[in-house]
Chain A
Amino acid sequence: MQLRVRALETILTEKGYVDPAALGLIVEAYETKIGPHNGQRVVARAWADPVFKRALLEDATEAVGTLGHVSRVGDHLVAVENTPKLHNMVVCTLCSCYPWEMLGLPPVWYKSAPYRSRAVKDPRGVLADFGVTLPADTEIRVWDSTAETRFLVLPMRPAGTEGWSEERLTSLVTRDSMIGTGLAKRPDEVA
């Protein structure tokens, strides 16, 4: 496949359709600039600042736009909040839709047949694959990203983090907790 991709890039370059330097910059941006750290900052801010949290749940695109240090986000971002009674999980059964600006490019498992097929039918089984067990009466809400709306899960703030700074809270926010296949870390997991 490597040779085939290189051949296509040669053809597209020779025909004037792509600039290899621009391709390099795109790759570099996804490898270094755009990743879960963007989402982590948003979640930590929501945990620390109730006003921001309300704004985020109301209109996530606009709320994220107010955070200067987070890269600009495209339209149609929706944040959904986990509570003791409700656990949200995000999937794209049809392809791989994912909040790139918040979390970077999706991991292989997110794009894989096992996840896409099972998340909407057996989310507890999927959670078990991630080592997560929820109480049987916790409602599980699965969001299938079938349009250009993008979903970011706002995980529950772990107990024992009262008084933590936003910066410190960031260390508890995992990528999977923002997809809904994981929970935020406990303080003793990052000590």
Chain B
Amino acid sequence: MDGVHDMGGMDGFGKVEPEPNEPVFHEAWEGRVMAMNRAVGAAGAWNIDVARFSRELLPPQVYLSSSYYERWQLAMERLLVERGLVDADELAAGRALRPGKPLQRGKLTTADIGRVMTRGSFGRPATAPARFAPGDRVRAKNIHPRTHTRLPRYVRGHVGIVERVQGCHVFPDSSALGHEDPQWLYTVRFEGRELWGADADPALTVSIEAFEPYLDPA
């Protein structure tokens, strides 16, 4: 979806402000939100693409005015209700009013923490040969799906060069809708001037990780 989360190239957000000696969490609740997300995800309530899409679906004004972990909390509440795991009246009451439903992989226990501390593998066996090879010229498609996509707006319609083939991976656009639909993944490099015009820094190149369905030969 063409949401405010797709920020690459936007102006007006101001300077980057690094914080010296930044703590891992600024408030204790941030850690709990992060951990709840990880635990519920590991229990099989949803996958990472579903979780990302739920944050993108927050209204733009909410997305921009909320902190990172506030967004996680709001999106998690929304997903829990959407999936029928928690009811709206329970959120309002602040306690469970009905028993829980079974989760696909079961509740994450203290003995199982290792499961969330190492990232899973997103590589999958290929079902077709890769369409592109390093050195190929490709054009990012001008597409605007209303659903989740990992093709940022700022490259759409632009020509780049395939630099690496990263293997066949779970396709987030499909995964957010519930099926893995693995696709070839490429690192595609664009010249800064191709993306930002003649005035751009001539010594800038930008790459994205592009799934095969995002690309046409050029």
Contacts and interface: CB of A to CB of B under 8 A. Distances in A.
Which among B32, B100, B187, B210 has the highest number of chain A CB atoms within 10 Å? B32
B15 A123 contact: no
B175 to A, nearest CB: 10
A114 B204 contact: no
A144 B34 contact: no
Contacts of B13: 112-114, 117-118
B213 interface: no
Contact of A22 (B27, B85, B109, B187): B109
Given A101-B119, A112-B16, A147-B211, A11 B96 contact: yes
A130 B91 CA distance: 42
A186 interface: no
Contact of A120 (B9, B18, B76, B122): B9
Contacts of B208: 144, 146
Contact of A18 (B17, B95, B101, B107): B107
A72 to B, nearest CB: 5
A129 B16 contact: yes
B123 interface: yes
Interface residues of B, number: 93
A52 B69 CA distance: 37
Given A23-B39, A146-B152, A147-B150, A117 B118 contact: no
Nearest to A124: B201
Interface string B9-36: 1110111111100101111110111111
Interface stretch (A41-49, A88-96, A161-169): A88-96
B203 interface: yes
Contacts of B52: 94-95
A1 B70 contact: yes
A159 interface: no
Interface string B101-120: 10100011110110011111
Contacts of B36: 5, 8-9, 12, 18, 23
A145 interface: yes
B19 A109 contact: yes
Interface string B165-200: 011011010000000000001010100000110001
A120 B73 contact: no
Nearest to A23: B35
Contact of B204 (A12, A109, A142): A142
A107 interface: yes
A168 B189 CA distance: 36
Interface centre among B39, B73, B196 (most CB of A within 10 A): B39
A137 B55 CA distance: 39
Contacts of B43: 17-18
A14 B113 contact: no
B204 A8 contact: no
Contacts of B210: 146-147
A71 B19 contact: no
Given A94-B8, A141-B205, 12 more contacts: A5-B73, A14-B100, A15-B101, A17-B85, A18-B36, A25-B110, A29-B113, A94-B152, A121-B154, A141-B206, A143-B187, A146-B150
